[in-house]
Amino acid sequence: MKIVLEKAGKKFYREWIFRNLDLSINVSEKIAILGPNGSGKSTLLQLLAGASIPTEGKVSYLEGNTLLDPEEIYEKVSISAPYLDLIEDYDLEETLSFHFHFKKPVLNLSDEAMIELSGLSSSRKKMMKYYSSGMKQRVKLILALLSDVDIVLLDEPCSNLDRKSILWYQDLVEKYAAYKTVIVCSNSQQEEYSFCKREINVMEWKPGIL
């Protein structure tokens, strides 16, 4: 699936977060959206996910030459972000079961295989509210990267990960997202987007307050 933004802009109150953004993201492309905290990266990601609509301009989703209805996009997109919460009273098995009731797992992986890939087997019966921030981040990345979708959106994917977990994340991307479009938002932590072939900086489209 291809995403095309034409003169897209998003405004909150009197402040334009970004404006006049022309961007085409091709099938299987790996792209990094860069900028400091508060620059609008997450807002742009929500626009790409179809979870938000532009204040001006348009966002189009194309499958070949077919224009898709934005309401269909959620089936083709997965997302991991700091502001998306896990269900605190679910354990890992319940979390996977709930998520993959709505999405198919890539390569028809079993729940058991995904638990093994998460590296959290010993905590499979522990509720999410007792997970550390790093463990929760692993769960979010497993849910996003192991979903059988066209597009994976990752907002600051290495948040709360130690060095070993960062290498785990990079390996997961390489093995299970090679043929997916992957869009990474980062405040210039290169380990988050080292596999990306194109970088854009959201600051280029910030016109300020009108």
pLDDT confidence of residue 106: 96
Q: Percentage of the chain surpassing pLDDT 70?
A: 99
Domain boundaries, the chain: 2-209
103, 149 contact by CB (below 8 A): yes
What does the pLDDT average to over 25-48?
93
Nearest CA to 128 among 154, 162, 93, 155? 93
> Which of the four pLDDT bands, split at 50, 70 and 90, describes residue 210?
very low
Residue 106 in tokens = 């890539």
d(CA 180, CA 157): 16
> Which of the four pLDDT bands, split at 50, 70 and 90, describes residue 39?
confident
In the three-class reduction of DSSP (H, G, I as helix; E, B as strand; rest coil), residue 45 is classed as helix
Question: Phi and psi for 2 in degrees, rounded to 5?
Answer: -105, 140
Model confidence pLDDT, tens digit, residues 59-75: 999 998 899 887 788 88
Chain-wide mean pLDDT for the chain? 93
> Which of the four pLDDT bands, split at 50, 70 and 90, describes residue 100?
very high
Instruction: Enumerate residues 6+ apart whose C-beta is below 8 A from 207.
Output: 16, 19, 20
What does the pLDDT average to over 156-174?
96
Nearest CA to 113 among 176, 161, 178? 176
16, 64 contact by CB (below 8 A): no
Topology of domain 2-209, per CATH?
Rossmann fold (3.40.50)
Half-sphere exposure of 171 (CA within 13 A, CB side): 10
Q: Percentage of the chain surpassing pLDDT 90?
A: 80
Asked whether residue 4 carries a pLDDT value surpassing 60, the answer given is: yes
> Which of the four pLDDT bands, split at 50, 70 and 90, describes residue 208?
low
